[in-house]
Structure 1
Amino acid sequence: MNTIVVFGASRGLGLAIAKYYRSMDNPVIAMVRDPSAAQELIETGASVVKGDALNTEDIEAVLAKTPKEAWVISTMGSFKTSQPVDYLGHRNLIDALEGKGIKRFLMVTSLGCGDSWATLPERAKAVFGQAVREKGLAESWLQSSRLDFTILRPGGLKDGDITEHGELSQGREVHGLITRSEVARLTFELFNDDASIHQIYACVDPTLSY
């Protein structure tokens, strides 16, 4: 049973991912900026470590506890924060993983990153564009790394249960919603498929509507 290491797990998608793997009794290590705001995460039984991805020493401290065969997931983001981690935090993490020889890494970004920028609606570019561009830079840094990486770009996220209807796609324009729990399930699917290494996927759930 793999140890799961989650960066950005105190709330939202990262929390849903931590909950999913803890529900299957996988050991979960989670780095969060403020453990006092992560009570729900702590209650899952995850091992919670205080740290900031902009501080390389904090990342090193987490990875010192991480087995080389662990599955590492990042959902880090910083929409409208004074110190964004979308690019620099991920760059620090990717470099540290390479240094430690921890190979399997799944980075969750969003629709609109990289080659999907052209399909992002203009309104979304105006509101989220800076964060999406930062995430796109992180994707580029990861793609030139030596890691066994997978990039996952979900559509609009919402609370809800696993639906089993989330769809992975490549090379085509997609729009839509997906529950955070369903994204968590898809990460498990990708980790268990070696064909997903060095691949980029979009994911939405066609059964959900706005």
Structure 2
Amino acid sequence: MGWRETTNKVEELKTLCCQLISCDATQQLDVERAVAQLPQDTVVLSTMGSFRAEVPVDYIGHRYLTNALESKGIRRFLLVTSLRCGDSWVFLSERAKAGFGAAVREKTLAEAWLASSQLDYTILRPGGLKDGAITHSGELSQGIEVHGAITRSEVARLAQQILLSADPIGQIYQCIDPTVSYY
């Protein structure tokens, strides 16, 4: 991401947050310093991704974040990755593997690192992300092949639902919204 895009996003986030802590997630010391500022009872939700990034953050950023959270004793972590990560890789078409397979592999490594941690984690794999409002039609599923899209707002609603429940610890969910089309 270019400096201007990053600066604009940080400024926008500042208007939505009581406190904003930002860092370069590809730098271990930066991540450790950021996590050191968090209260012990913090619930962490990460949507980090490498879209257009010169240095992929999907794996290394989440590895540094997971390690820092473990060291600080912060337990609850919701990682948002993507459909076709982990065991759902087999459902990714050859064309998609060629186009964005490297990013999916990075996210898969992040999931594996988190799953081997001491954290109380949940992984959420949304389908194709679209801009749009909450629909209340998003569906969580596990262990089945799904295809589809979902709005970012609906993913946020489902993430909140997951975080408010104790049941999803150690679980992996996928989510799509049958009312949202790819196109």
Is the TM value for this pair above 0.5?
Answer: yes
Q: 2:19 aligns with which of 47, 63, 72?
A: 47
Partner Cα distance (1:167, 1:149) in 2: 20
Q: Which residue of 2 aligns with 1:116?
A: 88
Alignment gaps of 5+ in structure 1: 1-32
Q: 2:59 aligns with which of 63, 87, 96?
A: 87
Partner Cα distance (1:39, 1:197) in 2: 33
* 1:47 Cα offset (Å): 2.2
Q: Which residue of 1 aligns with 2:178?
A: 206
- Aligned letter for 1:190? I
Alpha carbons 1:150, 1:199 under 8 Å: kept: yes
Q: 1:99 aligns with which of 68, 71, 79?
A: 71
* 1:96 Cα offset (Å): 0.4
Partner Cα distance (1:46, 1:123) in 2: 43
Partner Cα distance (1:50, 1:195) in 2: 30
Instruction: Work out whether 1:189 is the aligned partner of 2:161.
Output: yes
Q: Rate the CA distance shift 1:156–1:193 in 2: closer, same or farther, 3 A.
A: same
Partner Cα distance (2:52, 2:135) in 1: 31
Partner Cα distance (1:35, 1:80) in 2: 16
TM-score norm. by structure 2 comes to 0.92
Q: Which residue of 1 aligns with 2:48?
A: 76
Q: Which residue of 2 aligns with 1:162?
A: 134
Instruction: Work out whether 1:135 is the aligned partner of 2:113.
Output: no
- The total of aligned residue pairs comes to 178
Q: Which residue of 2 aligns with 1:23?
A: none
TM-score norm. by structure 1 comes to 0.80
Q: 2:152 aligns with which of 151, 165, 180?
A: 180
User: What value does the CA root-mean-square deviation take over the aligned residues?
Assistant: 1.5
Partner Cα distance (2:129, 2:53) in 1: 19
Alpha carbons 1:176, 1:204 under 8 Å: kept: yes
Q: Rate the CA distance shift 1:175–1:103 in 2: closer, same or farther, 3 A.
A: same
- Aligned letter for 1:108? V
* 1:63 Cα offset (Å): 1.6
Q: Rate the CA distance shift 1:80–1:37 in 2: closer, same or farther, 3 A.
A: closer
Higher strand proportion? 1
Partner Cα distance (1:101, 1:86) in 2: 22
Partner Cα distance (1:165, 1:50) in 2: 32
Q: 1:60 aligns with which of 16, 32, 38?
A: 32
% same residue: 59
Q: Which residue of 2 aligns with 1:145?
A: 117
* 1:209 Cα offset (Å): 1.7
